[in-house]
Chains A and B, each alone.
Chain A
Amino acid sequence: MTALLKLEGLTKAYPGVVANDDVSFEIRKGEVHALLGENGAGKSTLVKMIYGLVKPDRGQMEFDGVPFAPVEPRAARATGVAMVFQHFSLFEALDVAENVALGMENPPSQRELAARIREVSEAYGLPLDPHRTVGDLSAGERQRVEIIRCLLQDPKLLIMDEPTSVLTPQEVEILFQTLRKLQSEGTSILYISHKLEEIRALCDGATVLRLGKVVGRCDPREKSAAELAEMMVGSKLQPPIRDAHEPGDVVLEVSNLSQASHSAFGTALKDISFTVRAGEVLGIGGVAGNGQDELLSALSGESPAARHAVKIGGEEIGHMGPNQRRQIAVLAAPEERLGHAAAPGMSLTENALLTGAVRQGLTKNGFLKWGDTRAFAELIIKEFDVRTPGPENAARSLSGGNLQKFVIGREVLQRPEVLVVNQPTWGVDASAAAAIRQSILDLAEAGAAIVVISQDLDELMEISDRFAALNEGRMSKPQPARGLTMEEIGLMMGGAHDMEVAS
């Protein structure tokens, strides 16, 4: 097979950081090529250059033997490059066909387009009704909209950025079948992920990036996941450790929690009940948008619930607001770092005050103790290895992983008795993720009751004592995590809803 895309010495520097340094590799026709690397290794910058979103400082590309330097995504698409982003760019209020039409240069009539969407969706086993409103679709279905939008362009190279992070195991299987079918038709796929088992199952070749440089090339089918991880990180990873221990008394008790969502396309919580004991980690899985945000809001106190729906140590606290809950050591860390857990334009010191004011005693008669607040911010930075020049820097100047460490550290250092976290390691590199998980386990060790909501099943299996899944606002009955099979987890997460492959 000949090379479809050839990269030579691509270099891109941003102020203060070289995102890509002399990166060269090639993707053959019909190859599924993995781009591996931790967060911040330069994967995103690299694919943005291929897709024409970012111009390289140096180096050249060749596509199908012809020099290739897209000035904008439109040029890249015209050449035959299509991309499915990690974050979807869809309008929730429009239907599938309208969303697809918005991404096209010369969209055909809606009727014709709907027919083509049906045709493509059947040909590739991606069931999708062109007339459904995107707001009502699951994350997996939304991804199909993006994929079909790409496939309608008949691409020679399809770039997929972390496509499985929002899918159930069954949906992942459907996606892989689609990708294999595309491959058999000669389409090349550049597959970005840090899920190593997936890459071993799917890809023919892999390029590993670390700190912007290519540090290895391999055939992932010949390597073990541990070997791939070592190539990515550059050192051996320490899996989180915890000693076996007996959980204590029930601390957090949620009973028959039902609550409407605060956002129009949110998911209402329906009759959720569970308990968490001291020293126990309850992992809650599920595809994004099935009530995770709403559950966190109900537990953090942002959307107070019925008084009796949430109890701490037998005391009814469902009606309490966030600060009242903080007073009794019930803390939370939401998923969205910028704009929810932290204010982007404010300094880390100010962000330390954001949730720390109550428990750390950072105010006196309403006046702020800036000295103590700064010291608290510095403590978080030190204890959680947050890489930043200092606490006076704005939250938005930190990388996602560093800010996540800050946000988690801020709650952990406030000695919670109940901690609820949503997506604690989302977009965080492997070593930072390990550190965050370890800190959560240490907290459990010290007797806190912990709820971890996450879409990363590997993470949940690694740290949870018990596991439950959210599906359309309902929660499955928590099961002991040890011994659960992927099959069982998948059924808990999705039930059997729209798992069938279109025939």
Chain B
Amino acid sequence: MIRLEKRPSPSRFWAAATPVLAVIATMIAGGILFAALGKNPFEAIRTIFWDPLFHESFAAYSRPQLLVKAGPLILIAIGLSMGFRAGIWNIGAEGQYIMGAIFGAGAGLAFYPSESFLIFPLMVVAGAVGGWAWAMIPAVLKTKFGTNEILVSLMLVYVAENILASVSSGLLQNPDGMGFPGSRNFGQWPAAANTEIFVNSGMHWGVVTAFIVVIFAYVMLTRHILGFQIRLTGESPRAARFAGVNPTRLILICLGLSGALAGMAGLFEVSGPAGQISIDFGSGYGFTAIIVAFLGRLNPIGILLAGLLMALTYIGGELAQLMLGLPSAAIQLFQGMLLFFLLAMDVLSNYRIRIGKTEVA
């Protein structure tokens, strides 16, 4: 008989080991899935996890892509993790990401074709403000009227998508674009372009920002009273109130922070890898970042690793589609499994497993 026994304190060892176990379990279950699809499971796993990093002909292309994809995921996930720790569920990062891109791009394009070095910083700030403002809608509604931030933030994603569709063939449409929807391409406007800092490294300003934010978040959570208040609120809202935490203020801070970071991620994406505001700009980073935040145990360092891992499965997944003809649904399933196994393995850090008969009649 197998029994679960609650641990007096959560195990630190298992908290660190479960993500690794979850990855291994995903590989096994995914391998079985791929085998059932008639593919060689070992080859498929190798294509997803190994080839993007070390394959002699693809790696030079896919390694920089790893950073390009991981950057926004990490940036958004860090912001989300702050709220999640406090029990504030911003599910609408995708919307804030889109609004950040629109605000940032709009602020920049207002000055086209200026070559001032202030353009790009201005766009970054405007992007952050756009995301922040979009997140303030659920925040204010929650604090004033007690609405559910999960629903409001999620619904606002669809609003943002429609605004995106509207501006890309309206307000921000390229006047020289011969009627095609989409804004001017930032890649062709050096003052506004989010360029790679080192050529072919994938390291653009968004990635640098993500790394800096990881460090800030880590310091804040472990050494600052705000981080303590966030953790305390998540652990026990009543104790937090007793400790003098103002719940309204915390909701505004957490949603505002996650919105601003998502908005910045959107701006870095639109001015860099995406290049322009277009109808299909929203790529789901805002949703995937939720998985990244949990995969990283809502811990900044964990999120850094989880973001890289998630980016790897994206790139590896694309590679597997290309090389082995795996259906894209199988890849999505594979990513879903990762979160599923992680949550399932979570039990190990809070419970001890006892096997065998222990009771005597």
A-side residues, CB < 8 A to B, are 15, 55-58, 60, 69, 300-302, 321-323, 326, 332, 334, 336, 338-346, 350, 353-355, 357-358, 363, 366-368, 370, 393-394, 396-397
Residue on B with the closest CB to A358?
Answer: B244
Q: Are A302 and B359 in contact (CB under 8 A)?
A: no
Cβ of B356 under 8 Å from chain A: no
Give chain B nearest CB distance to A321 CB in angstroms.
6
Q: Are A322 and B242 in contact (CB under 8 A)?
A: yes
- Of the stretches B149-157, B231-239, B330-338, the one at the interface is B231-239
Chain A residues with CB under 8 Å of B228's CB are 350, 353, 368
Chain B residues with CB under 8 Å of A357's CB are 225, 243
Chain B residues with CB under 8 Å of A340's CB are 236, 238-239, 242
Chain A residues with CB under 8 Å of B10's CB are 345, 394
- Can you list, as one digit per residue, whether each of B235-269 has a CB less than 8 Å from chain A (1) or not (0)? 11011111110100000000000000000000000
Residue from the list A302, A321, A343, A368 in contact with B236, Cβ < 8 A: A343
Cβ of B35 under 8 Å from chain A: no
Q: What CA separation (Å) do A125 and B235 show in the bound complex?
A: 45
Chain B residues with CB under 8 Å of A394's CB are 8-10
Residue from the list B232, B242, B360 in contact with A334, Cβ < 8 A: B242
Chain B residues with CB under 8 Å of A332's CB are 242
Q: Are B8 and A322 in contact (CB under 8 A)?
A: no
Residue from the list A55, A60, A354, A370 in contact with B359, Cβ < 8 A: A55
Instruction: List 28 A-B pairs, Cβ < 8 Å.
Output: A55-B359, A69-B361, A300-B242, A301-B244, A302-B241, A321-B246, A322-B241, A322-B244, A336-B238, A339-B238, A340-B238, A341-B242, A343-B235, A345-B236, A346-B232, A354-B239, A354-B243, A357-B225, A357-B243, A366-B225, A366-B226, A368-B223, A368-B224, A370-B223, A394-B8, A394-B9, A394-B10, A396-B8
Residue on A with the closest CB to B5?
Answer: A15
Q: What CA separation (Å) do A343 and B231 show in the bound complex?
A: 10
Give chain B nearest CB distance to A192 CB in angstroms.
24
Q: Are A57 and B359 in contact (CB under 8 A)?
A: yes
Q: Are A343 and B239 in contact (CB under 8 A)?
A: yes
Q: What CA separation (Å) do A211 and B243 show in the bound complex?
A: 35
Residue on A with the closest CB to B9?
Answer: A394
Residue on A with the closest CB to B354?
Answer: A15
Q: Are B231 and A346 in contact (CB under 8 A)?
A: yes
Chain B residues with CB under 8 Å of A57's CB are 358-360
Q: What CA separation (Å) do A79 and B242 show in the bound complex?
A: 46
Residue from the list B224, B238, B361 in contact with A366, Cβ < 8 A: B224
B-side residues, CB < 8 A to A, are 5, 8-10, 223-226, 228, 231-232, 235-236, 238-244, 246, 358-361
Chain A residues with CB under 8 Å of B241's CB are 302, 322
Known: A366-B224, A366-B226. 9 other contacts (CB 8 A): A55-B359, A302-B242, A321-B244, A334-B242, A344-B235, A357-B225, A368-B228, A393-B9, A394-B8
Q: What CA separation (Å) do A300 and B243 show in the bound complex?
A: 10
Chain A residues with CB under 8 Å of B231's CB are 346, 350
Q: Are A354 and B224 in contact (CB under 8 A)?
A: no
Give chain A nearest CB distance to B253 CB in angstroms.
13
Chain B residues with CB under 8 Å of A370's CB are 223
Chain B residues with CB under 8 Å of A323's CB are 243-244
Give chain B nearest CB distance to A161 CB in angstroms.
22
Chain B residues with CB under 8 Å of A367's CB are 223-225
Chain B residues with CB under 8 Å of A342's CB are 239
Name which of A60, A301, A368 has the most chain B CB atoms within 10 A of its CB: A368
Residue on A with the closest CB to B10?
Answer: A345
Q: What CA separation (Å) do A346 and B222 show in the bound complex?
A: 13
Q: Are A397 and B9 in contact (CB under 8 A)?
A: yes
Q: Are A339 and B239 in contact (CB under 8 A)?
A: yes
Q: What CA separation (Å) do A302 and B242 show in the bound complex?
A: 6
Q: What CA separation (Å) do A354 and B9 show in the bound complex?
A: 19
Contacts A326-B244, A354-B239; A56 near B226 (Cβ below 8 A): no
Chain A residues with CB under 8 Å of B359's CB are 55-57
Chain A residues with CB under 8 Å of B8's CB are 393-394, 396-397
Q: Are B235 and A346 in contact (CB under 8 A)?
A: yes
Q: Are B225 and A355 in contact (CB under 8 A)?
A: no
Residue on A with the closest CB to B219?
Answer: A367
Q: What CA separation (Å) do A322 and B5 show in the bound complex?
A: 37
Q: What CA separation (Å) do A56 and B361 show in the bound complex?
A: 7
Chain B residues with CB under 8 Å of A55's CB are 359
Give chain B nearest CB distance to A419 CB in angstroms.
14
Q: What CA separation (Å) do A15 and B359 show in the bound complex?
A: 14
Chain B residues with CB under 8 Å of A60's CB are 361
Q: What CA separation (Å) do A330 and B5 show in the bound complex?
A: 41
